[in-house]
Structure 1
Amino acid sequence: MSNPFGAKSTTDDVLSGVDLKGKRVLVTGVSAGLGVETARALAAHGADVVGAARDLAKAESATAVVREAAAQSGGSLQLIELDLASLASVRAAAAALVAEGRAFDLIIANAGVMATPQGKTADGFETQFGTNHLGHFTFINRIASLLKAGSRVVSLASAGHRFSDVNLEDPNFETTEYTPFGAYGRSKTANILFAVEFDRRHTARGVRAVAVHPGGIHTELSRHLDPAFIQGMVDQLNAEAQAKGLAAFELKTIPQGAATSVWAGVVAPIDAVGGLYCEDCHLAQPVEDASELRNGVRGYALDPARAQALWALSEKLVGETF
C-alpha cells in the first residue's frame, strides 16, 4: 500500500480535498491536544462532530477553534460529557446517544491517560487499563448499533504497547508489581487488541476498526512525567538511531500527531488496514526486536486469539456481554 503521507504529514495534508459534509463523527477526549485538533480538522471539512470530554467546561473553552472551523465549513460541533474512568458515566453517555438514534460514520477513541501513579477508577479497575481500555470498550460496544455500513472505529494505541502485553490473569496489578509504563503498555496493547476483535466481529456488516499510533508528541497526556525523563527517552532513542544510522528522533507537532487518526478514519483503504495497527499514516510492520523502540508492532498485539481472550475478560470485568 503506497500513499503520499508520512511522519511529517499534518491533518490538513491528509484531508486536503476531502469533503466530509453529511458525515457524523464522534471523537473522545476533545478538551486538549490531539482530540481538539482531530475534531478541528474533521469539522473544517464539513463533518458534524460530537466531541466527548470528562470536563465539559474545559472542553467548551478548548473547542472554540473547532466551532470556528465548523462555522466556516458548514459542519457542526456538539459536546457530550463522558468520564471513561466511570462506567456509570460511560453508560449514561452511550444511552443518551442511542436514544437520540443518529448514526455515526466514524468513531475516534482518542481519550486516554499515560503513566499515572497507581490508582483505581470509580469501578475499582487499575486507572490506565480501566480508562484507556475498559471505558472505551464499554462505550463503543454500547453505541455500536449506531455505526452504519461503511463506518469505521479508530482506536488510539501507542508505541508504548511495546512496554507490555496485556495480563489476562492480573489486569489490575493485584499480584504483580505496578510500574507506570508497564500499566500504560498493557492498556495500549489492549487498545490494539480491541480493534482486532471489534473488526472481526463487525466486518460482515461493513463496519471496520483500526488501531493507530499518533507518534511522540508533547501534550497534556505527559503531565505525569518529569520533563527530564522525557528528554532522557528522546536521548535514548537518538543514541539508538545514531547507532543504526537512522535519522534523529523528533517529537511531532499536534497536527502531525493527529494525522494518522484522520488518515485511518477517512482516507486509508480500509481493506488494507482494518483490524491492524498504523503509524505515520502507514500500516506498521511486525517487529519483534526488543531493541526497536521507534517503529513497528509486536505480534502479541495483533494476535486474534489474544484479542478474543481479552474481549471475554473485558465483558466479565464490566459485567456486560456484547
Structure 2
Amino acid sequence: MFDAKSTTDDVLAGIDLAGKRILVTGVSSGLGVETARALAAHGAQVVGAARDLDKARAATAGIAGLELIELDLASLASVRAAADALIAKAAPFDAIIANAGVMAGTFGRTEDGFETQFGTNHLGHFTLVNRIAPLIRTGGRVVMVASGGHRFADVDLDDPGFEKTPYEPFIAYGRSKTATILFAVEFDRRHKGQGVRATAIHPGGIATDLGRHMTPESVQKLMETFEADRRAGAPDIEYKSVPQGAATSVWAAVVAPADAVGGRYCEDCAVAQIDEADWITGGGVRAYALDPENAKALWALSERMVGETF
C-alpha cells in the first residue's frame, strides 16, 4: 500500500490511536518530532524523551498532550534514571520507537567510556528498552531506528571501542547501526512468546541535524563514497522529506502486521530483502545484520559492557 514517498499522514490515515501510549526517543528535532506529532494527531498519548528538555519543549510546543522526560543516551546514569522514573509510574506502553542517535562525529567516548556512536546508538537504547520491557503491553512493539548506513560495517565484537583498530567515523556509525538491527533481532526472539515484537527500520536519506557532528573531511569522504557507488551502478539516492522519513517508524509501530515485521529490517514502509551488493547507497539489508547468532553474541557482549543481565 505504501512506498518511499508515503508520509506519516498517509500511513496513519483512518487509524485511531486513542488509548495507545507510545514512547519516542529523540524528540528535540527532525524525525523524532514528526513521529511524535503524527502519533499524537491520531490520538496516541506520546511520551517524548530528549537530552535537552528546553530544546525539546520548543520543538514540540504544538503537540498536544505530549509528556517529556530527560534522557541522555550517552550516560547510563541518565538512562537508568529515566527507566526508573517510567517503571515507578507503572503506565504501560503499546510501542517504543528508539529514534534518537548520533552520526559520524570525531572519536569520543560516552560518560561511561564507550565509543560515542556505539555507546549512544546501541548501548543506551539497549539498556533503556530492556529495563522498561516489563511495561510493554502484550501486542506491543519495539521499533529501532537503524540506517542503511549499517552497510558500512558489521559489529566488531572483539574491538567495539576502536582500541585495536584505527577509528573511522562511518565504520563506527555502521557498527552502531548494525548493532541496532541485531538488538531488534534478539529482543524479538526473546519476547515474541509473550506477544511483544521488535523490528528495525531505515528511515531513508533525510536532511536533518543527525550529521551535525560531522567534520568537513567526513562529509567529503561520504560524498566520494556516494559517487563511487553511483559509478559502480548503485541507484541514485532519492532524499525524503521529514514526514516521509518518519513514515516507516509509525508504519512499523502501529500499522504493519506484527508477524511480518517482527525480527526484520524495514524500509520505505515495507520489509526489506537481503542485499549483498558492494555499494553503501543501495537498499536492502546485509545478512550479517539479521544473523541470529551474531545477535546473540552482541547481546552477551552488551550485557557485559553495561554491567547488567536482562
| TM-score (normalised: structure 2) | 0.96
- Matches for 1:107-122 after TM superposition, within 5 Å: 107-122=96-111
1:187 to 167, 172, 176: 176
Q: Higher mean Cα deviation, 134-143 or 289-298?
A: 289-298
Percentage of identical aligned residues? 68
Whether the aligned pair in 2 keeps the contact of 1:50 and 1:78 (CA below 8 Å) is yes
Q: 1:123 to 1:239 in 2, by over 3 A?
A: closer
| Separation in 1, partners of 2:239, 2:219 | 11
Q: 2:304 aligns with which of 297, 312, 316?
A: 316
- Output the aligned Cα RMSD: 1.7
Distance 1:306 1:232, change over 3 A: closer
Deviation at 1:293, TM superposition (A): 2.4
2:248 equivalent to 1:251: no
Assess if the C-alpha contact under 8 Å between 1:237 and 1:294 holds in 2: no
Match of 2:148 among 141, 153, 159: 159
Which residue is equivalent to 1:71? none
1:269 matched residue in structure 2: 257
- Maintained 8 Å contact 1:106/1:265: yes
- Structure 2 portions without partners, runs of 5+: none
Q: 1:310 to 1:243 in 2, by over 3 A?
A: closer
Q: Does the 8 Å CA contact 1:26/1:49 hold for their aligned counterparts?
A: yes
Aligned twin of 2:59: 62
Q: What's the offset of the Cα at 1:13?
A: 0.4
| Cross-structure match for 2:165 | 176
Q: Tell me the amino acid that sits aligned with residue 241 of structure 2.
A: T
1:283–1:238 Cα change, 3 Å: farther
Q: CA deviation at 1:249?
A: 2.2
Q: Tell whether the 8 Å contact from 1:241 to 1:249 is kept in structure 2 after alignment.
A: no
Letter in 1 for 2:71: L
* Distance in structure 1 (CA, Å) of the matches to 2:155 and 2:199: 18
> Structure 1 residue 65: deviation in Å?
2.5
1:89 and 1:18, CA in 2 relative to 1: closer, same or farther beyond 3 A? same
Partner of 2:66: helix, strand, or coil? strand
User: Quick one: distance in 1 between partners of 2:154 and 2:231?
Assistant: 28
Deviation of 1:141 after TM superposition, in Å, equals: 0.3
Q: Does 1:10 align with 2:3?
A: no
Q: Residue by residue, what CA displacement relative to the aligned partner does 1:112-135 show, whole Å, maximum 9, x if unpaired?
A: 000011000000000000000000
TM-score (norm 1): 0.92
The SS at the match of 2:139 is strand
Match of 1:46 in 2: 43
Secondary structure of 1:64 counterpart: coil
Q: Aligned-pair distance for 1:225? A: 2.9
CA distance in 2, matches of 1:264, 1:120: 32
Aligned equivalents of 1:226, 1:81: Cα separation in 2: 28
Decide whether the 8 Å contact of 1:101 with 1:146 is kept in 2. Answer: yes
Counterpart Cα distance in 2 of 1:239 and 1:120: 31
How big is the shift at 1:273? 1.2
- How far does residue 107 in structure 1 lie from its aligned partner after superposition? 0.1
